[in-house]
Structure 1
Amino acid sequence: MNTVFLLVMLVVTAGWITSAVTLRVQSLQRQADRAERRLALVLDHFGIEEPEPAGMDEVRALLGADRQIAAIKEYRRITGAGLVEAKQAVEALAVTERSDKS
């Protein structure tokens, strides 16, 4: 009986800790998102464009060779971006490259 009680308490405690950590992470993510939006507004106000990361020529070359997955991997390597962010950036770059060729 004591073992079952301890096991239940352990599971409940782990759930509570997980919930608390999740809420804190979500709060920090919201703060980071707000800071990014504010920074973007400041950059726009002063007409400052974010410089392109070094190594984008390789990403463009991979796109030109129709190797989108390799381009995404290279983008992630040079920027440290997550998979979704890298995929969106490379897809946007591909659209830009196609429109420039037209």
Structure 2
Amino acid sequence: MDTLFLACLVVLGIWAIQRNVSQAERTAARVERKLDLVMEHLDLHEEIPNKDGIVALVREGRTVQAVKAYREATGAGLLEAKQAVDRLT
């Protein structure tokens, strides 16, 4: 019986943590969208470390390497990096 109680407690704990993480992710995404709108309104652009090197890779047709370099420079995810590199062309 103690094992069943402990298992239920663990499951409820995992569920609560997962719910909080999901809520935090939604909040972060909402804040990021708002920040993007503010930056666009103010005509500000994010500084990308090694942007010249990334642009050079794109011009050489080495898109995969450009995406990898972008990810390493910014910490962006794969989709975000691909979209950013596509905008550089």
TM-score bracket for this pair, using the shorter chain length: 0.7 to 0.9
CA RMSD of aligned residues (A): 2.1
Alpha-carbon distance in 1 for matches of 2:15, 2:30: 23
Structure 1: runs of 5+ lacking an equivalent? 98-102
Identity %: 37
Aligned with 1:84 (options 66, 75, 79): 79
Aligned with 1:75 (options 70, 74, 77): 70
Name the counterpart of 2:17.
21
Structure 2: runs of 5+ lacking an equivalent? none
Name the counterpart of 2:44.
49
Question: Relative contact order, CA 8 A, sep 6+: which one is greater?
Answer: 2
Name the counterpart of 1:12.
8
Quote how far apart the aligned CAs of 1:32 are.
1.3
Higher radius of gyration, 1 or 2: 1
Alignment TM-score, normalising by the size of structure 1? 0.69
